[in-house]
Amino acid sequence: MVGVYMSAWFSDLADQFYRNFIFEDRYRWLLQGLANTLQMTLFAGMIGILIGLVLSLIRVLHKSGAKIGFLNAFANAYITVIRGTPVMVQILIINFVIFASIPVSKLLVASLAFGINSGAYVAEIFRAGINSVDAGQAEAARSLGLSYGQSMRLIVLPQAVKNVLPAMFNEFITLLKETSIAGYIAFTDLTRAGNNIRTLTFSAMPLLLVALIYLIIVMFMTFILRRLERRLASSDRG
Amino acid sequence: MIEVNGLTKHYGDLVVLEDVSFTVEKGETISIIGPSGSGKSTLLRCINRLETPTAGEIKINGEVVTEKNVNRLRRSMGMVFQHFNLFNNLKVIDNITLAPLTLKMMGKAEAEKNAMALLERVGLAEKRDVYPSTLSGGQKQRVAIARALAMGPDIMLFDEPTSALDPEMVGEVLDVMRQLSDAGMTMLVVSHEMGFAKAAANRMFFMDDKKILEEGEPSVLLTNPKEERTKLFLQSVRR
Ligand SMILES: Nc1ncnc2c1ncn2[C@@H]1O[C@H](COP(=O)(O)OP(=O)(O)OP(=O)(O)O)[C@@H](O)[C@H]1O
Ligand SMILES: [Mg+2]
């Protein structure tokens, strides 16, 4: 009896697998979605780093006495607004309000939207990183006759970058997962691709596989992060 | 060599230095003592403008220190900090060559040769390729001194160079400072190492009440202070 149920279950499973992934080459939809997700995350990450670096430098320069009150106010407002509103709302606004009548690729819109969002968080990470470098480091550099810019570039920033690497990695992992809402602006990322199949087959399989793919990527990145942390801990700090 | 005129420093409402004036001649070693919070560090930091004075002027080799010329004048003033402040991201040799190379005062070969000669002088030539975190406190401070000397300064400022060190390492740092002083370096040394002051300093300043309260030859000031506060302070550190 049990054997009959089992074989029925297996043949149902095989049938489901066929309908979800093989029929009409549907696995290709997922591959294309995965490629889109990875590209979007990478571009958004780079945009985020760029924005974050600029914002954090503005705030640090302002604190050290540079006369850039206007820029600083802008940076503060940016960070407050982005961190104070849901990322979902932000991408909807960027897509349906700002880019409403501008014909650009969805990849660009999505990357920009998530990059703008990530930038605010990266700015906070960088700022904390710069502040984590002992003020004596910059003072020693200045006391030798180096300019503010030179001591920042040669002494403070290299140490700050090292201090923020783990946090940056975490931000990147978060970003990867957050991009799963890109479907709401009609960008076919991994999640959207899986859901597209589900609407045809009414099967749980495509979304479960999507979840598994995200999990594998995140676990891989976490593994890299752990190794990185161990290497940093055993290197030249102190 | 150093002329301080009417130096005043406030932090908000807190007055740390009030109308401080003195001159230091070339080759002099000045020992500065005084209770915690009396403005010793602030005085040194105003001289190389790590702090901006509230009022007064400071001349180095006859030139008034301003916001404009400070980077250039700092090259002629080395500073040694209580907590060493070696660059954690650079090896010992690179700590020493960074400033001469960045400021294009020497080529790479010359800077490294100069750095090795200085490491030799502070007895740490074999440490050229290690990171600061692997050094003991005394070794760190000797590297910090070498780093400051690499710029070929006329003046050296020391802010409690031995007070973060374990007792057995104080001597090695004081020895290096003593050699520098004997070799004719102009030095301002904030330190409560009275033995060093007696042996190496030409004059001693006692700071309290926002100014240099008493000044004299170290052996005289230490054994026979005129001011009541100086007496009290010396009793408290000898305790
Ligand atoms: N950046 C700052 N902001 C506000 N107050 C400060 C600052 N730096 C120093 N002070 C204050 O100025 C006073 C003098 O400080 P300073 O460090 O010059 O004293 P010091 O004689 O070197 O003391 P110590 O022996 O403890 O090193 C102290 O009351 C200190 O709290
Ligand atoms: Mg002090």
Residue A234: the pLDDT is 67
Rounded Cα–Cα distance for residues A214 and A209 (Å):
9
The residue nearest atom 26 of ligand 1, judged by CA position, is B36
The residue nearest atom 22 of ligand 1, judged by CA position, is B41
B203-237 pLDDT, tens digit per residue, is 999 999 899 999 999 999 999 999 999 999 999 88
Q: What is the DSSP letter of A147?
A: -
Count of structural domains within chain A: 1
Rounded Cα–Cα distance for residues B123 and B121 (Å):
5
Percent of chain A at pLDDT above 90? 74
Q: For residue A6, is it within any domain?
A: no
Closest ligand to C-alpha of residue B51 is 1
Please state, rounded to an integer, the average pLDDT across all residues of chain A: 92
B94-127 pLDDT, tens digit per residue, is 999 999 999 999 999 999 999 999 999 999 999 9
Q: How far is CA A105 from the centre of its chain?
A: 19
Query: Is A68 in a helix, a strand, or coil?
Result: coil
The residue nearest atom 30 of ligand 1, judged by CA position, is B37
Q: How far is CA B102 from the centre of its chain?
A: 23
Which positions in chain B touch A238 (Cβ < 8 Å)?
Answer: 88, 132-133
Q: For residue A96, is it within any domain?
A: yes
Q: Is A199 exposed, middle or buried (0-12, 13-18, 19+ CB in 10 A)?
A: exposed
Query: In terms of residues, how long is chain B?
Result: 239
Residue from B89, B105, B127, B139 whose CB has the most chain A CBs within 10 Å, to mutate: B89
φ/ψ of B3, rounded to 5, equals -125, 120
Q: Across residues B72-98, what is the average pLDDT?
A: 96
Q: Is B188 exposed, middle or buried (0-12, 13-18, 19+ CB in 10 A)?
A: buried
Percent of chain B at pLDDT above 90? 96
Q: For residue A152, is it within any domain?
A: yes
Q: Across residues A120-141, what is the average pLDDT?
A: 94
pLDDT of A235 strictly over 70: no
Which positions in chain B touch A141 (Cβ < 8 Å)?
Answer: 87, 98-99
Q: For residue A55, is it within any domain?
A: yes
Smallest CA–CA distance from B91 into chain A, residue: A236
Please state, rounded to an integer, the average pLDDT across all residues of chain B: 94
Using CB atoms, pick whichever of B88, B131, B151 lies closest to residue A144: B151
Using CB atoms, pick whichever of B71, B88, B144 lies closest to residue A147: B71
Residue A236: the pLDDT is 54
Rounded Cα–Cα distance for residues B61 and B150 (Å):
19
Q: For residue A164, is it within any domain?
A: yes
ipTM for the predicted complex: 0.92
Rounded Cα–Cα distance for residues A229 and A223 (Å):
10
Rounded Cα–Cα distance for residues A60 and A54 (Å):
10
Closest ligand to C-alpha of residue B18 is 1
**Nearest atom within ligand 1 for CA of residue B42:** 18
Mutate to test the pocket of ligand 1, among B8, B14, B32 (most ligand atoms within 8 A of CB): B14
Q: For residue A113, is it within any domain?
A: yes
List B188's β-bridge partners, or say none. Answer: B30, B157
Interchain pair B89, A155: CB under 8 A: yes
Using CB atoms, pick whichever of A136, A144, A158 lies closest to residue B89: A158
**Nearest atom within ligand 1 for CA of residue B45:** 18
Q: For residue A40, is it within any domain?
A: yes
Assess contact for A201 and A16: CB atoms under 8 A.
Answer: yes
- Chain A contact for B71 (CB, 8 A cutoff): yes
Q: For residue A4, is it within any domain?
A: no
Q: How far is CA B53 from the centre of its chain?
A: 18
Rounded Cα–Cα distance for residues B94 and B100 (Å):
10
pLDDT of A85 strictly over 80: yes
Which positions in chain B touch A134 (Cβ < 8 Å)?
Answer: 85
Q: What is the DSSP letter of A237?
A: -
pTM of the model: 0.84
Assess contact for A146 and B149: CB atoms under 8 A.
Answer: no
- Å between A47 CA and nearest CA of chain B: 27
Assess contact for B204 and B193: CB atoms under 8 A.
Answer: no
Residue-range definition of the domain harbouring residue A175 = 16-179+187-237
Q: Across residues B58-77, what is the average pLDDT?
A: 92
Rounded Cα–Cα distance for residues B62 and B75 (Å):
15
Q: Across residues B58-79, what is the average pLDDT?
A: 93
Using CB atoms, pick whichever of B79, B102, B132 lies closest to residue A154: B102
Closest ligand to C-alpha of residue B13 is 1
Interchain pair A146, B132: CB under 8 A: no
A94-110 pLDDT, tens digit per residue, is 999 999 888 899 999 99
Q: Across residues A138-142, what is the average pLDDT?
A: 96
Q: Is B163 in the pocket of ligand 1 (CB under 6 A)?
A: no
**Nearest atom within ligand 1 for CA of residue B43:** 18
Q: What is the DSSP letter of A184?
A: G
What CATH number does residue A159 fall under?
A: 1.10.3720.10
